[in-house]
């Protein structure tokens, strides 16, 4: 469906709104699921538990997922422009985190227990969110 301004909408929301809401919900679920496996591991630091057998998480990592999820959901509920801004910001943040993760894995500075799988996921998330934020719903 096309709105009056010529931007695409899905169920009355812009593409950025739908993406922010969907990704936000997934981040919240992942953050909560992380708490199911991260018990018995340090809350902060380079070691953590394997979520889905691939992604290393600790308590701080789980909290970060919850905060990012809440930010994306809140932005989506506020409207198209906040959703687009949040997708851009979180996308760029994840691209920066991908680059930082290349240097942090295996060091004591790795406070959120990043591993190679996390880094690959961060690259994909960064490209997806920044791509939608910068490439869709432009007026």
pLDDT in tens, 29-53: 999 999 999 988 999 999 999 999 9
> Range with the lowest mean pLDDT among 4-8, 50-54, 74-78?
4-8
Report which listed range, 3-17, 40-54, 68-82, is most confident: 68-82
What is the C-alpha separation between 124 and 72, in angstroms, rounded? 17
pLDDT at residue 94, as a whole number: 98
Match 């422009």 to its residue by tokens: 81
Where does the pLDDT of residue 11 fall: very low under 50, low under 70, confident under 90, or very high at 90 and above? Answer: low
What is the C-alpha separation between 68 and 107, in angstroms, rounded? 24
Look over the chain and give the mean of its residue pLDDT values, rounded to a whole number. 91
Contact 90, 71 (CB under 8 A): yes
Is residue 2 predicted with pLDDT exceeding 70?
no
How much of the chain exceeds pLDDT 70, in percent?
A: 90
Is residue 75 predicted with pLDDT exceeding 80?
yes
Is residue 137 predicted with pLDDT exceeding 90?
no
pLDDT at residue 10, as a whole number: 67
pLDDT at residue 7, as a whole number: 52
30, two tokens: 């992942």
102, two tokens: 């290349």
Nearest to 61 by CA among 102, 128, 103, 119: 119
């Amino acid at each position: 469906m096309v709105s009056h301004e010529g931007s695409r909408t899905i169920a009355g929301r812009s593409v950025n709104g739908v993406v922010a809401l969907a990704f936000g919900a997934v981040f919240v679920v992942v953050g909560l699921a992380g708490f199911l496996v991260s018990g018995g591991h340090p809350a902060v630091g380079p070691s953590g538990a394997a979520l889905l057998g691939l992604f290393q998480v600790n308590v701080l990592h789980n909290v970060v997922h919850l905060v990012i999820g809440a930010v994306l959901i809140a932005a989506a509920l506020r409207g198209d422009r906040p959703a687009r801004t949040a997708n851009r910001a979180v996308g760029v943040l994840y691209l920066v985190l991908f680059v930082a993760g290349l240097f942090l894995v295996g060091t004591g500075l790795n406070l959120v227990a990043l591993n190679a799988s996390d880094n690959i996921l961060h690259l994909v998330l960064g490209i997806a969110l920044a791509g939608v934020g910068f490439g869709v719903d432009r007026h």
